[in-house]
Amino acid sequence: MELWFDHVEQVAIASPTTYPEKILLSDFNTPIKLFKLPFFSFKNIWEICKSFLLLPIIFSQIFRSFIWADHVHIRCPGNVGLLACIVQIFFPGKPKSVKYAGNWDPKSKQPWSYNLQKWILGNSFLTRNIKVLVYGNWSNQGENIIPFFTASYSDSEKIEINKDFSPPYRFIFAGTLSQGKRPLMAVKIIHELLKDNFPVKLDIYGGGQEFEKMDTYITENNLTNSVILHGNRDSQILKEAYMNSHFSILPSISEGWPKALAEGMFFGCIPLASEVSCVSWMLGGESRGLLISKEEVIESEFTKETLKKIKDLLKDPVEMREKSLAATEWSQEYTLEKLEDGIKILLSNS
């Protein structure tokens, strides 16, 4: 968000200012004007009833923020994003942009509220003078929809990648240890490879509700020497881990732009990832990595065919090196400088 703030004179945020858990980890460097919204959600009957009573206040504050702004930027999908999508219909002349941080795949199954936001944003009659930034390049999209990306590293962090693809082969999983990310599936893939005497290791970075389940599985199956749970670590340690790994594994059931995957590719990690959202585009089919089918991650069970693909690749150091270099070349195109240039262009056309 600071990249956006650097190119405007004043910034205001319309957002709930209190949450049932800690959301913001650090303060902004830019002075912020706040249009305070009460916290609301639709998780149960009580919260739905309470939220409907709060809607007049919420809509009023969002309207005020739209009137104040010269350019409106909306983040979707989400509860506030949904209401902002409705409010923006009444401001057809106001320059607007949307960061759609979720899965834009038109064929994917998603909550009705997500589909409603996508429908409103893609409708050029209801939604005008807007650029909707989505992850991936999708066919048959309206004039509102613009392929975009995100970035973690700068041009100065680019390094020449020439990994030594000799055993033991190191895999890395980086991300929240939630059921949706399927971290246990990653452990099971490593377990199967070890059963067939492939010299592999897995380093897992992140914390979450699946930590104890994974720890139990690792202990019960005598994997403590091959699978290591590191917990949450800072960005520098993670960066070094990518540099020392051969593969980045992410069998997630849903993604927008899988940041951890792009970060690993930046430093030559061959991605092994689920075929969701824009992942197939990121991997160039399978020219830069290997894909796990949607059905496999939904069922949380990988097939013999997928396991064979991994084994075949592990037997071929030349192909591993080619995929690694291709992954690096692709990912290093998407730097913070390029992201900032894209934001400048977007704002200058407002």
pLDDT at 47: 83
User: Across residues 287-300, what is the average pLDDT?
Assistant: 94
Give yes or no for residue 289 having a pLDDT over 80.
yes
pLDDT in the model for residue 295: 92
What average pLDDT does range 303-307 have in this prediction? 95
**What is residue 310's predicted lDDT score, i.e. its pLDDT?**
97
Write out the two tokens for 112: 């009705």
For the stretch 162-178, pLDDT in tens is 899 999 999 999 999 99
Higher pLDDT, 106 or 239: 239
Q: Are residues 341 and 304 in the same domain?
A: no
* Least confident window among 7-21, 63-77, 202-216, 288-302: 7-21
Positions of E strands within 53-129: 72-76, 96-100
Task: Specify whether 63 is located in the same domain as 112.
Answer: yes
Domain shared by 97 and 233, yes or no: no
Is residue 295 domain-shared with residue 339, that is, in the same domain? no
**pLDDT at position 147, please?**
92
Please tell me the predicted confidence (pLDDT) of residue 284: 95
276 and 256 in one domain?
A: yes
Question: Has residue 25 got a pLDDT over 60?
Answer: no
Write out pLDDT tens, residues 224-259: 999 999 999 999 999 999 999 999 999 999 898 999
* pLDDT tens sequence across 140-154: 888 899 999 999 999
Query: Across residues 198-221, what is the average pLDDT?
Result: 96
Q: What is the DSSP letter of 248?
A: E
Mean pLDDT computed over 194-217: 96
What is the Cα–Cα distance from 269 to 321, expressed in whole angstroms?
10
Q: Are residues 53 and 169 in the same domain?
A: no
Q: Do residues 303 and 161 share a domain?
A: yes
- Quote the CA–CA distance of 235 and 153 in Å, as a whole number: 11
Assess whether 245 and 325 both reside in one domain.
yes
Residue 348 — left, alpha, or beta (φ > 0 → left; ψ -120 to 50 → alpha)?
alpha
Which residues are 253's β-sheet partners? none
* pLDDT given at position 40: 84
What was the pLDDT predicted at 350?
64
More confident residue, 246 or 342: 246
Question: Are residues 195 and 126 located together in one domain of the fold?
Answer: no
d(C-alpha 196, C-alpha 200), whole Å = 10
pLDDT of residue 250: 96
Q: Can you give the CATH number for the domain in which 228 is found?
A: 3.40.50.2000
What CATH number corresponds to the domain at position 130? Answer: 3.40.50
The residue segments making up the domain with residue 29 are 2-150+335-348
Percent of the chain with pLDDT over 70: 97
Which residue type, as a one-letter code, is found at position 173?
F
Do 170 and 298 fall within a single domain? Answer: yes
Considering only CA atoms, give the Rg of the chain: 22
CA distances from 211 to 18, 91, 167, 260, 296 (A): 28, 46, 27, 18, 21
Specify the number of domains making up the chain.
2
Judge if 65 and 161 occupy the same domain: no
Residue-level pLDDT at 108: 86
The amino acid sitting at 9 is E
pLDDT of residue 22: 58
129 and 159: one domain? no
Q: In whole numbers, what is the pLDDT of the chain averaged over residues?
A: 93
Range with the poorest average pLDDT among 27-36, 225-234, 291-300: 27-36
pTM of the model: 0.88
